[in-house]
Chains A and B, each alone.
Chain A
């Protein structure tokens, strides 16, 4: 594809609901990252995949957050029992090579609002 795509672009959830956010990286990109960006702040690292392997999940804020990339392409970030502090923009980025060695291309993000 032309770039990284994410869906939905906007999601409103009631507190306690589960949500699933999808990321379609650029075709052929090995590395995939998820970030959380609160209003007025920089993106914060959540997790990193190299192909289908989740190599780093140290940024996931709690065990309510779960990410997968089962076939090494599309990735899903799932948040269970959403809380108001989960409200943020969730950004996905992909890069052609290994992490730290190639440019990250960001998707447009999913803006999650938890009421």
Chain B
């Protein structure tokens, strides 16, 4: 079945440094979503990408969807302590809502 891999599993950065997490799917995706989960919390939707090569920005966050629609990345510029949490990508290859989540990248930020 469909597999979604995320790297790295953990990332520790100094406040102000940049951060990137990568997501790779074994199959071509209809769309990909990104979520943030704070420690002890639940996933919170960040964004959905649909088009090949799409790039979307939300303040310090930049999301990319690969040309082949099999990979994606999330880049945070100048991290802040409020960015701490686990970032998940979730891919849907059917457009029927059955998304496969990666295992996430856990970001810690040292002030």
Contacts and interface: CB of A to CB of B under 8 A. Distances in A.
Pairing of A with B: yes
Interface of A: 31, 33, 35, 40-45, 48, 55-56, 58-59, 91, 93, 95, 98-101, 103-109
Interface of B: 4, 6, 30-31, 33, 35, 41-45, 48, 88, 90, 92, 94-104
A56 B99 CA distance: 12
Contacts of A95: 97
A91 B97 contact: no
A43 B95 contact: no
Contacts of A42: 4, 6, 88, 90, 101-104
A106 B98 contact: no
Contacts of A45: 98-101
A99 B41 CA distance: 23
A100 B101 contact: no
A108 B42 CA distance: 5
Contact of A103 (B48, B96, B103): B48
A95 B31 CA distance: 16
Contacts of B4: 42
A103 B92 CA distance: 13
A91 B100 contact: no
